[in-house]
Amino acid sequence: MYVPAHFSVSDEEALFRLIRENPLGVLVTRGRGGLDANHVPFELDPSAGERGVLRAHVARANPVWREVEDGAEVLAVFRAEHVYVSPNWFPSKHEFHKQVPTWNYRVAHAHGNITIRHEEPFLRGLVGRLTTVHEATQPKPWKMSDAPEDYIEAMLRSIVGIEIAITRLVGKFKLSQNRELRDRLSLGEALKRQGDIALGQATLDSIETLK
């Protein structure tokens, strides 16, 4: 990923937070069939391994786990908010007419080595934890024990686990940091007014970190 210095984020905790808040990642692999990309909800364990570990599962019918070798280098891409940026939101445009449209976003790329996991305890624990996290906002959270045990066992046999030991994290928060201060302030407020609250606030927060 091309990351100009003014968009680069090296704060691992900020990148871990992005991953936790946007867990549906794109798993990019290169196997015997060439490049492949799968959209997978991940669990992040930042305390495991040297740089943290990502865990997920895919359908056993998905060929990705057969085509990629244990230990192979893979990439998991996580994207937070993104938005089209109009030149009209920059005050300098109305003076000098030297602005063009762009697109702002926040992303984290996790590079690492993959291990395929088949063990039932691993899969059961992973599914249980993912369920607990993502059902937390429901009025009556679903839990694995709500379903018959033989059904759960059959479902677990139909999936394969994936574990990625993170070796490198790359972050890019493109928030118009290369613009004038007044343009960045105007952009942050414009985004919030149109309902892009999170990215608008992130834009304003990126200014505060410079003060």
How many structural domains is the chain composed of?
Answer: 1
User: Which CATH number do you get for residue 23?
Assistant: 2.30.110.10
pLDDT digit string (tens) for 123-145? Answer: 999 999 999 999 999 999 999 99
Domain extent, residue 49, equals 5-208
pLDDT digit string (tens) for 11-28? Answer: 999 999 999 999 999 999
According to DSSP H, which parts of 30-164 are helical? Answer: 64-67, 91-96, 120-134, 149-157
Mean pLDDT of 147-168: 97
Identify the burial level of 62 via C-beta atoms within 10 angstroms of its C-beta, where 0-12 means exposed, 13-18 middle and 19 or more buried.
Answer: middle
- Which of 121-160 are b and which e, b meaning 16 or more Cβ less than 10 Å from the residue's Cβ? eebeebbeebeeeeeeeeeeeeeeeeeeeeebeeebeebb
Q: What is the pTM (predicted TM-score) of this model?
A: 0.92
